[in-house]
Amino acid sequence: EHWHSYVDSGRMATVSGWLDALGDARIAASPLAAYCAMWVGALSGDQRSVRRWEPVVAAAGDYGPLPDGMRTCAFSAALMQAAFGFDGIGAARRASEVAVRLETDPRSPWYSLARAAFANALYFSGQPELAAAQLDEGALADTPLALARLLATEVSALLAVDADRLAEAETAAERARNIVTDPVIGLGGAPQSSLAYIATGAVLAARGQLDEARGEFETSLRIRRKWAGISPVPTIELLLRYAPVLA
């Protein structure tokens, strides 16, 4: 019930310690424990843990609702793939479509994460209009999930940069930076924090502030290189935006 509040407040190690105390055999016998282990692995870029526990979670299918408000185990497995994109952008988009179909209650915090993940997948698939529609539908600014807010603000900033709405882009990028630099939120040292620096670098590059943009992109790249298991898609986006700044 409480694992995500610990993760959101920077106490991932505490949750990992609980899982270690349970041991692999007990985790494998419990869809709930496997669900927590799968998400902790995803958040830390540990694909080995994701590959190990995702089949346990997916096999539980319609088991739910889970104590933290996740609708079902099937929804959880789809949402994890949608949000982290370990199997590429095509798989992330398909998983996003499943996730938004399974969770239809706007009162659920996981509803907002499903929409933010879908918006990300649509943006990286080259469909910015559909991505923007998901952000509008999700009412994502007020979600309690820091990861959902970060995904949404990053995509909002990139969409606005691409449309030359730089004031709007700057506001979105600043919100993303505030999320990852807030000491109360546990994303500061996470691989996902790199998204805020991609967004900020894109805004600075569009404004012609190339030295500052280079610094943001290099910070993002350093973060992403620490986590070999994370999705390559944001890294590719980062490099495509970084190259013309260097040129």
Distance CA 21, CA 27 (A): 10
Residues whose CB falls within 8 Å of the CB of residue 50, separated by 6 or more in sequence, listed in order? 38, 41, 42, 80, 84, 86
- Mapped onto helix, strand or coil, the DSSP state of residue 63 is coil
pTM for the whole thing? 0.90
Distance CA 197, CA 201 (A): 6
Helix axes 146-162, 166-181, angle to 10 degrees: 160
- Is residue 110 within 8 Å of 71, Cβ to Cβ? yes
Helix axes 47-59, 31-43, angle to 10 degrees: 150
The pair of three-digit structure tokens given for residue 149, joined into one six-digit string: 């807010």
What tens-digit pLDDT sequence spans the chain (247 residues)? 888 888 877 788 899 999 999 999 999 999 999 999 999 999 888 889 999 999 999 999 999 999 988 999 999 999 999 999 888 899 999 999 999 999 999 888 899 999 999 999 999 999 999 999 998 765 566 778 888 899 999 999 999 999 999 999 999 999 999 999 988 887 777 888 999 999 999 999 999 999 999 999 999 999 999 887 888 889 999 999 999 999 9
